[in-house]
Each structure stands twice: as structure tokens, then as C-alpha cells.
Structure 1
Amino acid sequence: MQGQEFSTAGCYEWLQGSKPKVPWARLVWNAWVMPKHQFFGWLFAHGALRTNDRLVQFGMDIDDSCFLCAQASEGANHLFFECAYSKQVTCSINQKLNCHFPENQVLDWCLQRTGTKMQIGVQAAVVWGAMYHIWQEETGAGLKGS
């Protein structure tokens, strides 16, 4: 290793080892997306969002119905794509921003975006931001807190 300079980034990369790139990374870790929405997107991509159905799977004795509509078990798919509340939000986004919010499979939708880097970044920011705030309403930062 003579002749090579030490760098913290190089050391960190060596410690981690090589990892395969995931196709959704450019949409989550995007300069246009707020950091808290990036973390949310990472949790979503890994299926690790705290939703009532997951809490029940972990042994919590709670009602797993959707807090926003009370019409179905609250999983990520229901919360973001089937819930009447989230459908109103996404319909409004579609009308006002002409963003064509995904009806399901948000990661696939994001990967199919075309346009300039800025257009793709803004669309990703809108989608992750909307999904984050729907999730916040459900988790209590919105409706439960009032």
C-alpha cells in the first residue's frame, strides 16, 4: 500500500465491501428529495415502514385497520394506493402538478420516469414527499395529534 494516501471514504468503502447498486437508489438518494423523505423512501423500498399490519406481525395487540379510512388492514400497499384518503391526495397531485402519481408499484413507476435530471428529481421529490405526509397522518403526527 505504499504510495497510496489514506482517506476516510476509502477506509469506509473497504470496511463495507462491495455492494450491488439498487435501481431505485438514484430516486431516493436524490438532491431534490428532502433527507427525511429520503430515509422514508429507503424504508419503503426495504418494506420496513411501521404500519399496523407489521406491528401486529411483531406481536403488538393493536387494531390493524387503517386509521385514515378504517376500511381495510393497514399495510403499505393499502395506505398509499388503496385508501380513500391517499387517493384524494394523489388525485389532487395529478390534477395540480400533472405529475401522474403512481397507482401502485411506486418504485417501478419512479424508474420509468423520463425527462431531464431536474424533472425526474422533482417528480421523485413530489412522490416521496406526498407518501411521507400520508404516512405521517396515519402515524399520528397529523390527525391523531390534533
Structure 2
Amino acid sequence: MKHHYTEEEMKRMMTFKTKVVYDKITEEEERVYWAKMIWNRLAMPKHRVICWLAIQGRLKTTDRLCQMGVTTDAQCNLCCEHTESHQHLFFQCSYVKRVLKYVFEWLGFKSRQDQLMSIMMMLNGRSRKSRVQKQIHAAIIKACVYYVWWARNEAQWNMVLWRLEKVYRIIRECTVMRINSVLPRKISSKDIAWWENVKSKVYSV
């Protein structure tokens, strides 16, 4: 209560009304536009968790590891150009941008957003795409985030830099397999045709 009301406001409150207090608290909370796009079953659970942590800036990137005293080198091991942070890794790193270029061209996805939050808000916003199509796009974006983090860990801890074409193929194969296995049977013929068309596209690298 004291975080939302001043002492003077408390004194002026003649009677305690739960609804008034609830409205006061919730109106001050930031609306999470991307939550529904994160927590849908078309994406693998581990992809959802890593994406959730990435959006909140809670992954242990090298800039944070330096602050913790775990390492002294904060350089991004994927591009070797800048300090690794959430803002850099998702999605300003040149390595990541090239992976996303392959994925977006496969999907015909024309987004030029360079931040994960913006992409999720865009998918959650109004568009001509159906709910199923938005969820499929979101599942693929989450796979991108997961496998970028996987590739980063390979470079950071195992000193292995995967070819970005290989990362793209893993994202594509993993998401197609997952979505095929959990896609609801009761979806429109239009969505079925759209998904079959997406699967049939092979973006050559």
C-alpha cells in the first residue's frame, strides 16, 4: 500500500475499498504486451524460458559476468566486435543479424525491428495474420533467441563458432518438427494452407 499511496492520500481515504485500491495498483503496472506470445505451446518449453529471460535482461551475458567477477573479457564471442550485452546480442550483433536474415527471408517476414520486445509487441498487435499464424511466427522467433544463446554459449565456453548457416538450419528443422507435433487439429483450412506453404519454402544458403 505504501508504495502506491502517500500518507496524505491514506488519511483522505474515508473507507477502504478493495476495487479502488486494486485499480490504483494495476494501473501503475507496466502492461506486458508480449506475455501471450511467449507462453504458447507451439514453442518448446526451453525456448520459452530462455526468451522470457532474454526479454527481462536476465541472461548472464559477458558484461554481467564481468561485473560478477567471473570473467574479465566482455567481448561478444560471436562477432568479436563489441561488448556483449542483451541489447547487443538481441539483435544488434552482426552474426545474429545474418542468422535472422535467413530466417526472416524464409518466412517472408519483413520486420526490421532490432529489439526483441518490439518484435513481440508487433506480433501481439493488430495485423491481418490469424492468431495461429502469429503464434507460429512467435515460436520461430523464440527458437531464434534460444539458438543464438546456444551458439553464444558454444563460443564462450567451448570455443566453437558454429557456421551461421548451420544455426539457421537447426532453427528451421527444430521449429517445423515441434509445430507439426503440437499444432491443433481444429484450425482453419486457410491456416493449414499457409503453414504448408511456409514449410515448403527452402531458403538456400
TM-score for the superposition, normalised by structure 1: 0.77
Distance 1:143 1:59 in 2: 16
Q: 1:50 aligns with which of 37, 41, 60?
A: 60
Q: 1:125 to 1:101 in 2, by over 3 A?
A: farther
**TM alignment of 1:1-146, pairs within 5 A:** 22-113=32-123, 114=127, 115-140=129-154, 144=158
Distance apart, 1:108 and its partner CA: 2.3
Aligned-residue offset at 1:24 = 1.5
Q: Conserved in 1, the CA contact under 8 Å of 2:77 and 2:155? A: no
Gap regions ≥5 residues in structure 2: 1-25, 161-205
Regions of 4+ moved over 6 Å: none
Tell me by how many angstroms 1:49 deviates.
Answer: 0.8
Does the 8 Å contact 1:52/1:66 carry over to 2? yes
Distance 2:145 2:96 in 1: 8
Contact 1:137/1:144, CA 8 A, preserved across alignment: no
Instruction: Return 112-121 or 97-106, whichever deviates more.
Output: 97-106
State whether residues 77 and 156 of structure 2, in contact with CA within 8 Å, keep that contact through their aligned partners in structure 1: no
**1:103-141 C-alpha deviation (Å, 9 max, x unpaired):** 322222222223211111011111110111011111128
Name the aligned partner's letter for residue 124 of structure 1.
A
Aligned residues: 129
**Unaligned residue ranges in structure 1 (runs of 5+):** 1-18
Alpha carbons of 1:142 and 1:72: their partners in 2 closer, same or farther (altered >3 Å)?
closer
The verdict on how the C-alpha distance between 1:142 and 1:122 changes in structure 2, with shifts beyond 3 A counting, is farther
Shift of the 34–43 alpha-carbon distance from structure 1 to 2, 3 Å rule, reads same
Aligned to 1:12: none
Q: Which has the greater radius of gyration?
A: 2
**RMSD, aligned α-carbons:** 2.4
Give distance in 1, aligned partners of 2:48 and 2:112.
18
